[in-house]
Amino acid sequence: MDAPCDRAGITITGLGVGESVVTVWQLADGARNPVPGYRRVALNDAAYVVDYYCPLQRNVQYEVEVLSGPLGASRTTSAPVILPSTTGWLQDALVPQSSVPLVGQRRDNNDIYLRSPALAALEREADMSIYRIMGAKKPMALIGERMAERGLDTSVATRSAEQNARLKKLVDDTAQLVFRPLPEWGDMGLEGAMHLANGKVTRLPVNVQFGGNLTWWDIVSDVVAAPAIRVLTAIFTYGDVAMLMSTYQQKQDLMAGRTYLDDLKNPIGG
């Protein structure tokens, strides 16, 4: 695992010289969802795509749908991949840099770990109206589609000031989260990447006032659709490269014999 979180990388080649309009789809848990930031994007011949919200430890495929381009429209699906991870993740739906790792059982004081109420129950509600009919003993019901899960409990505990600050920054910055659980966390049949709308977070310092370090965080959310916003997240900036390279020639020497895709994946070599 390296910063900001466990993620999948997809190499796209062979689009042809010239602009192609492409959507990259994630296929997991029986659903087909666009990789954030890669719906109807313009690419030229090749690209390296990072999926910061790839489900963990389960089969995932990626489909590259070319809508238009030098070689015409096409669809190509990858072989199944499995992203290994020793933690789950709680993330900002738009800014993966603030991702927080979660564990099911605490190993040391640096862990942010799920509390016993977490993932214990789920509520699924359907819109329903009941109408009484004159002369009939049984009313009529008009029932809508049953909605996604409500009341998903991802409450956690922390035992260090550092992890408290990390979690506080995440929940202060956004009310739309992404929860990526590990498959072994219960038998609720949770999807591998769940977008959550969180209206309220409760922070309870359990014994901090007595010199302890235990803090409980109550985080209960509703499952919602992913935000339809294009997001471009740079792993390296021009400033990062400039700080590490004293001259442009040094950069050229470092990348000698490497491809443009190699440079996109790791601009500082190695």
pLDDT at position 125: 87
- Same domain, yes or no, for 115 and 157? yes
Distances (CA, A) of 82 to 56, 59, 85, 112, 153: 7, 5, 9, 24, 26
Residue 77's CATH number: 2.60.40
pLDDT-derived band at 122 (thresholds 50, 70, 90) equals confident
pLDDT-derived band at 177 (thresholds 50, 70, 90) equals very high
pLDDT at 230 over 60: no
Average pLDDT for residues 222-248, to the nearest whole number? 72
Q: Is residue 263 part of a domain?
A: no
More confident residue, 40 or 232: 40
Q: Is residue 258 part of a domain?
A: no
In 3D space, the residue among 105, 93, 96 whose CA is nearest the CA of residue 5 turns out to be 96
Number of structural domains in the chain: 2
pLDDT at position 140: 93
96, 1 Cβ separation under 8 angstroms: no
Q: Is residue 228 part of a domain?
A: no
pLDDT at position 265: 66
18, 70 Cβ separation under 8 angstroms: yes
pLDDT at 187 over 80: no
Domain that holds residue 31: 1-85
pLDDT at position 120: 85
pLDDT at 258 over 80: no
pLDDT at 100 over 90: yes
- Same domain, yes or no, for 107 and 201? yes
- Which of the residue ranges 69-73, 141-145, 266-270 would you say has the lowest mean pLDDT? 266-270
Question: What pTM was computed for the model?
Answer: 0.77
More confident residue, 253 or 233: 253
Give tens-digit pLDDT for 13-32. Answer: 999 999 999 999 999 999 99
Q: How far apart are CA 44 and CA 39, in angstroms?
A: 15
Q: Is residue 209 part of a domain?
A: yes
pLDDT at position 169: 92
- Same domain, yes or no, for 212 and 133? yes
pLDDT at position 235: 59
pLDDT at position 267: 73
Q: Is residue 69 part of a domain?
A: yes
pLDDT at 111 over 80: yes
90, 185 Cβ separation under 8 angstroms: no
Residue 179's CATH number: 2.40.30
pLDDT-derived band at 71 (thresholds 50, 70, 90) equals very high
